[in-house]
């Protein structure tokens, strides 16, 4: 029997009991108490004490194959779990307005992204330009945004003529006026002698008088004002002149646009795909534009071919010259899952990801590979399987849960 009262601290008993109760081993005080009890009650107590020590000591067991503890979340507060998923109670889901959709893998037409801008339809828009240098007198109808009819006068152009040139033209007009008066008297005298004078002479006098009158009208028109009229019906989209301004020839003064007949001109850098385009869409602030392919040019402009689309459904206001991105369908196709653009967000590393509804109140982020489908949708090429439920509304709110 061991004399516990005289056991040294560095002995086997202290080594076995060092560190307190660890791995099921009793602490030092408890073992000393049991040792005194064993000394008092005899060999039976000593045997029980050894047995109890064997029961508590089981350090050396292998726990590497044990199953990990399941994720347990309690409460009704949204939280980000250790595996990166988000716990979101049903009440919070309704409050955030989350909506999900089953992923469906299907074949979709491949799209081509083009840089474009809004232009006026060449057959429904026009410009008013000065034909010569002159001074402008604006019409009250030349107001920006006002609708005008074809042929309506927008301004009057008075030509700029020097004093010497004006004096010479006025002298010519005075000379023509005298010749016309002489011709009129001659015609009147010959008409009185009708039947005596040959009819050919009377006819020649009439022709000469008409020529003099035409020369006077032409010369007088060069000195008079010129009316500038709208070439097409539409809205005055641009006014580049003010009253009294002196303009040069070929200077654009007004632009007329029909807002119901607009087009989009884009640039395609691959001539092979420029001829195989179909329907297209373009994202603009407040919505999207539906476009119909009209044709492609055959002459390069800035290293690309111009491609023309007509705006089919213009429910969103746009302006001529507005830049935009055109997503045009091609003849090629590829498989993937179509999702709204808002369903795909960027993580901290800049990777595209979606949120998958994996449980009643659990959502898991998934990194995906996407391609543009149209102005409002993306095509998920990798990272989603058919039948998975994807968050299509509220994905940005899930990413903010911490």
The per-residue pLDDT for range 245-303, each reduced to its tens digit, is: 999 999 999 999 998 889 999 998 888 777 778 889 998 888 889 999 988 888 888 88
What is d(CA 196, CA 206) in angstroms, rounded to the nearest whole number? 17
Cα-based distances in Å from 138 to 239, 244, 267, 287, 368: 10, 8, 38, 38, 60
What pLDDT does residue 223 have?
66
Cα-based distances in Å from 95 to 34, 90, 365, 392, 401: 62, 9, 20, 15, 14
**Helices vs strands, H then E, count in the chain:** 8, 23
- Decide if pLDDT at 26 tops 80: no
pLDDT bucket at 137, cuts 50 / 70 / 90:
very high
Which helix H or strand E contains 226, and what residues bound it?
strand 226-229
- Decide if pLDDT at 144 tops 80: yes
- Decide if pLDDT at 207 tops 80: yes
pTM: 0.60
Residue pair 329/111 in contact (Cβ under 8 Å)? The answer is yes
Instruction: Supply the mean pLDDT for the chain.
Output: 80
What pLDDT does residue 196 have?
82
What is d(CA 290, CA 324) in angstroms, rounded to the nearest whole number? 13
Question: What average pLDDT does range 58-67 have in this prediction?
Answer: 46
Q: Which residues touch 269 (CB under 8 Å, ≥6 apart)?
A: 303, 304, 305
Q: Can you tell me which residue has the tokens 């250790």?
A: 82
Which helix H or strand E contains 79, and what residues bound it?
strand 79-80
What pLDDT does residue 154 have?
94
């Amino acid at each position: 029997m061991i004399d516990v009262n005289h056991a040294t601290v560095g002995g086997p008993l202290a080594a076995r009991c060092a560190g307190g109760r660890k791995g099921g081993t009793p602490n030092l005080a408890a073992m000393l108490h049991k040792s005194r009890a064993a000394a008092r009650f005899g060999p039976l107590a000593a045997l029980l004490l050894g047995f109890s020590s064997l029961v508590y000591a089981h350090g050396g067991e292998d726990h590497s194959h044990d199953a990990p503890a399941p994720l347990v979340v309690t409460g009704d507060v949204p939280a980000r779990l250790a595996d990166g998923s988000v716990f979101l109670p049903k009440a919070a889901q309704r409050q955030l307005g989350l909506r999900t959709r089953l992923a469906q893998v299907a074949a979709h037409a491949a799209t081509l992204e083009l840089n474009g801008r809004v232009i006026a339809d060449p057959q429904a828009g026009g410009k008013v330009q000065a034909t010569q240098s002159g001074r402008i007198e604006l019409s009250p109808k030349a107001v920006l945004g006002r609708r005008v009819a074809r042929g309506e006068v927008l301004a009057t152009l008075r030509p700029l003529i020097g004093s010497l040139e004006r004096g010479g033209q006025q002298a010519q007009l005075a000379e023509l006026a005298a010749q016309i008066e002489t011709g009129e008297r001659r015609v009147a005298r010959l008409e009185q002698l009708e039947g005596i004078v040959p009819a050919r002479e009377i006819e020649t006098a009439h022709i000469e008088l008409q020529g003099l009158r035409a020369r006077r009208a032409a010369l007088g028109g060069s000195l008079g004002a010129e009316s500038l009229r709208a070439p097409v019906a539409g809205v005055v989209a641009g006014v580049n002149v003010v009253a009294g301004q002196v303009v040069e020839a070929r200077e654009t003064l007004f632009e007329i646009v029909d807002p119901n007949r607009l087009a989009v001109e884009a640039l395609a850098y691959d001539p092979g795909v420029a001829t195989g385009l179909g329907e297209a869409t373009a994202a603009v602030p407040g919505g999207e534009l539906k476009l119909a392919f009209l044709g492609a040019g055959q002459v390069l402009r800035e290293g690309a071919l111009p491609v023309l689309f007509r705006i089919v459904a213009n429910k969103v206001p746009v302006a001529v010259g507005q830049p935009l991105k055109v997503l045009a369908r091609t003849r090629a196709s590829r498989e993937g899952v179509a999702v709204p653009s808002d369903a795909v967000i960027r993580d901290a590393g800049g990777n595209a990801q979606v949120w998958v509804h994996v449980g009643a109140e659990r959502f898991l982020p998934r990194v995906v590979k996407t391609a543009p489908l149209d102005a409002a949708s993306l095509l998920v090429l990798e990272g989603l399987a058919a039948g998975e439920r994807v968050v299509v509304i509220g994905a940005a709110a899930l990413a903010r849960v911490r």
